Amino acid sequence: MPDSWRHLALEVMVTLAETAPAMLRRVGAKYIPLLVLQVLKMMTEIEDDSDWSVSDEIVDDDDDR
């Protein structure tokens, strides 16, 4: 799924958890463990970028002047 859809799904889950926690526990109790695992997986996914260590410009943030 595209990142925009993932963000939207996560936003819906958070909104439901904040506004109707009792309903979410009652109706979605069997899905909560699966949802938590999917959310944690989404949070730890890293896009593979082969050029992550290559930079054309030197950034000197540690300038003590």
pLDDT digits (tens, 9 = 90+) for 6-62: 888 888 888 988 999 899 889 888 888 888 888 888 778 777 777 767 767 766 666
Query: Does the residue 50 lie in any domain?
Result: no
pTM: 0.54
Query: Does the residue 20 lie in any domain?
Result: yes
Parent domain of 12: 3-43
Query: Does the residue 35 lie in any domain?
Result: yes
Query: Does the residue 24 lie in any domain?
Result: yes
Query: Does the residue 16 lie in any domain?
Result: yes
pLDDT at 6: 81
Query: Does the residue 49 lie in any domain?
Result: no
Cα–Cα distance measured from residue 6 to residue 41, given in angstroms and rounded to the nearest whole number: 11
Query: Does the residue 65 lie in any domain?
Result: no
Cα–Cα distance measured from residue 45 to residue 43, given in angstroms and rounded to the nearest whole number: 6
pLDDT at 60: 66
* Amino acid at position 18, single letter: E
The number of distinct structural domains making up the chain is 1
Cα–Cα distance measured from residue 13 to residue 8, given in angstroms and rounded to the nearest whole number: 9
Name the one residue in this structure whose structure tokens are 């909560």: 32
